[in-house]
Amino acid sequence: INPGISEKGELMAARVSMGVAIAVATYLGLNPPGFAAQTVALAFGLAAASLFPAILMGIFSKRINNKGAVAGMLAGLIVTVVYIFLHKGWFFIPDTNSFTDADPLLLSIKSTSFGSVGAIINFIVAYVVSNATEDTPQEIQDLVESIRIPKGAGAATGH
């Protein structure tokens, strides 16, 4: 759209578009329009519980290491999958569910919306495990810093 955009402008556009995508995905996850959309909502919920926090922390935190990211992804994914299976049936087999979305296990959170809870668990576990294990190697910290502050932006930000 704008071939002359600076790296700083490109980074800002990427952040804004990521925020819009997250807002749309959250809305559709919380308000799925139909059965086919429920399948998509479950897929987005699983991605939100497993991949999204690790990607976000990998970009914006120099402290998160591989052990924390993997532990967080597993914790978020396992908790979300179990909650979905409790509501939709184990491996989606009919009549093996313990709860329904009309009578949810936790507050009023439907199975299609539980990915947000899994994401929170992922963030917490990744943070705790990363702080309990060795520091991230310096070359990884430098890589994260180079992603966060594009070339040519150092003069404008004072870095």
Dump pLDDT digits (tens) for 6-60: 888 888 888 898 889 888 877 866 776 666 666 777 888 899 999 999 988 887 7
Q: What is the pTM of this model?
A: 0.69
- Whether 1 is in a domain gets the answer no
Closest CA to 115 of 69, 55, 24, 52: 52
Domain presence at residue 137:
yes
pLDDT tens digit string along 63-88? 889 999 999 999 999 999 999 888 88
Residue range(s) defining the domain that contains residue 13? 7-150
Q: Tell me how far apart the alpha carbons of residues 59 and 78 are, in angstroms, rounded to a whole number.
A: 23
Is 37 part of a structural domain of the chain?
yes
Residue 159 lies in a domain: no
The number of distinct structural domains making up the chain is 1
Ordered alpha helix ranges (H), the chain = 7-30, 35-60, 66-88, 115-132, 138-148, 154-157
Is residue 157, in this structure, part of any structural domain at all?
Answer: no
Query: Is residue 2 assigned to a domain?
Result: no
